Amino acid sequence: MICIIDYGAGNLHSVKKAFDFIGVPAKVTDSPSEIRDADKLLVPGVGAFGKGMEALRRQGFTDAILGHVEKGRHILGICLGMQLFLTDSVEMGDNNGLDLIPGHVLRFDSAQAKVPQIGWNSLDFQRESPLFAGISPGTYFYFVHSYFCEPNDEEATVATASYAGRNFCAAIEKNGIFAIQFHPEKSASNGLKVLENFAKL
């Protein structure tokens, strides 16, 4: 069973519907006790980094997430969920994250391009990952974000994309931790394939 964490950050029900569509059992939960026995966790998210972390702490999810990862179980972060996995973010001040992946969340340079990035963008794979099995390099996915992740360990990045005059980390894999900046639930058949691949891990 995949548990989708409900911490009030949006888009979780569309993710649940995507799993339903591909026939993968998944449930939305706002209870930390329910995720302790989950095979896999998914942290979705649309919104601000600081408010997202505040909600995770307030609802008691941070310890449950860290415990899940310490057990070696898989976890996937989507969009804001990906960013929350890093050490900190500059969004609306300095905010500490879960620190599952050492690194920082930075803002795109609005002098280089319109911010946020909204729309389809292609991926450049840096190495193989089971999350992208069956997906060709250059495949397009749907992005909506003003901030991007910059892991300290370059090996954690499995895919990049280009926007606002720079290449940025679009997907992470490290020690059973997976994260993607794009929205698979809005990325048609290729997005569904990513979710299916995560379910099969």
Chain centroid to CA 53: 14
**Active site members:** 79, 183, 185
Pick the closest to residue 82 from 159, 181, 177, 2 (CA basis): 181
CA angle 178, 184, 186 (to 5 degrees): 160
Of the candidates 68, 73, 86, 56, the residue with the CA atom closest to the CA atom of residue 168:
86
Number of helices (H) and strands (E), helices first, in the chain? Answer: 6, 14
